[in-house]
Amino acid sequence: MRAKTYITKPDDIVRRWWIVDAEGQTLGRLASKIAPYLTGKNKPIYTPNLDTGDFVIVINAEKIAVTGSRMDQKIYYRHSGYPSGMRTLTLRQMLDKQPERVMELALKGMLPSSGLGRNMLKKLKVYAGSEHPHAAQKPQVMEL
């Protein structure tokens, strides 16, 4: 007799809410700890072709830490689509203007580059300060 393989179905997925305080945390190390929660790799029902991940709330994104001289050397690029439309911002400028975007871009690079990865990224909620509107979901503190 053969053992049956368990196949996760979308109805079996239970999503939880987690909250992370980014104050004083290193950007890449924090992102690499959050990514498994968004993909669902921390659960025994993980399936590569399904989004089994949880919701993650990141607060205090403006107080993230980086090592070395990355504040002035790390550059974010975007292009408008027009000739000479390239725009660049350093990490320091990005933290001043859009501190949430820094964490979102760090995690975007750690998720699959497909429609599944885009759905996983939608479950990430990043806030610059310590206030967030998700108290009704009763998020649990993620131990890092």
Asked if residue 17 is part of any domain, the answer here is yes
Asked if residue 8 is part of any domain, the answer here is no
**Can you give the pLDDT at residue 62?**
96
Tokens 């131990």 belong to residue: 143
SS3 call for 17: strand
Asked if residue 7 is part of any domain, the answer here is no
Tell me how many domains the chain contains: 1
Average pLDDT, the chain: 95
Asked if residue 51 is part of any domain, the answer here is yes
What count of Cα atoms within 13 Å lies in the side-chain half-sphere of residue 117?
11
Q: Are 120 and 114 contacting, i.e. CB atoms less than 8 angstroms apart? A: no
Question: What's the pTM?
Answer: 0.92
Give Dmax (Cα) for the chain: 66
**Which band of pLDDT confidence, cut at 50, 70 and 90, is reported for residue 54?**
very high
Structural domain that includes position 36? 13-66+99-141
**Which band of pLDDT confidence, cut at 50, 70 and 90, is reported for residue 3?**
confident
Closest CA to 108 of 26, 43, 39: 39
CATH number for the domain harbouring residue 45: 3.90.1180.10
Is residue 19 pLDDT above 90, yes or no? Answer: yes
Asked if residue 59 is part of any domain, the answer here is yes
Is residue 124 pLDDT above 90, yes or no? Answer: yes
